[in-house]
Structure 1
């Protein structure tokens, strides 16, 4: 039986990412960390738009992207649900995205002047904070 999950996300006007991207990223993270699990129902487009005080079209586009990518599934007449886990990207695409993300991260962090050991420790700490939720 599916449980309806409130989608506790926030959008930030100061974030350089568009609001739709913030929604997509937040939902992906909640699924990846196990905060949202297979079968959880997401709020309606109108409900999330009201919660976040944004245009419903923005939510609809974010939900459509998540559905196309296989993170969510639409059930006729009942709404959107977290889809069953599956490999959503080819191995080559996963590698490409990892390389891109690491490149962006390194370019953002190097100018901050932290020693590499401290950066690695902090990244490892963040992973430890997130990953256990997925396996629990």
Structure 2
């Protein structure tokens, strides 16, 4: 279901937020589906329950999940996860573009690389 990279510089809670958002966006977690309890998920992943709680709070703040007191956390219906995932992917694209610019890659070459990726996508769809 979820995999974490404990060697990554990205905080574990952010990895959880990204991973759960992805699962929701891809439909692996259905609207109104109950998520594992904080303690259960923390135990399964071998992380501190506070880490899972922080991820759940971020997901709730973003509208990806909702909580019902005494019942647990559930996947929100609607496009919140897709919006979050899109924002995360755009941020990665911006970071890659900034790295390319710092490396001296000309704008036209960078745009050509992006266009090539999109062309590959249309040829395989």
- Whether TM exceeds 0.5 here: the answer is yes
Residue number among 65, 68, 80 corresponding to 1:75 in the alignment:
68
Normalised by the length of structure 1, the TM-score is 0.67
Bigger-Rg structure (1/2)? 2
Q: CA deviation at 1:33?
A: 1.1
The alpha-carbon distance between structure 1 residues 38 and 11, as it changes in their structure 2 partners (threshold 3 A), is: same
The alpha-carbon distance between structure 1 residues 99 and 9, as it changes in their structure 2 partners (threshold 3 A), is: closer
1:4 counterpart residue number: none
Of residues 96-105 and 61-70 in structure 1, the stretch that sits farther from structure 2 once superposed is: 96-105
Within 2, Cα distance between the matches of 1:75 and 1:12?
Answer: 30
2:96 counterpart residue number: 105
Residue number among 25, 31, 38 corresponding to 1:32 in the alignment:
25
Structure 2 residue runs of 5 or longer lacking an equivalent are: 106-111
2:121 counterpart residue number: 124
Within 2, Cα distance between the matches of 1:15 and 1:65?
Answer: 20
Matched position secondary structure for 2:9:
coil
Structure 1 residue runs of 5 or longer lacking an equivalent are: 1-7, 129-136
Residue number among 43, 48, 54 corresponding to 1:55 in the alignment:
48
Normalised by the length of structure 2, the TM-score is 0.72
Within 1, Cα distance between the matches of 2:119 and 2:13?
Answer: 28
Aligned-residue Cα RMSD (Å) equals: 3.7
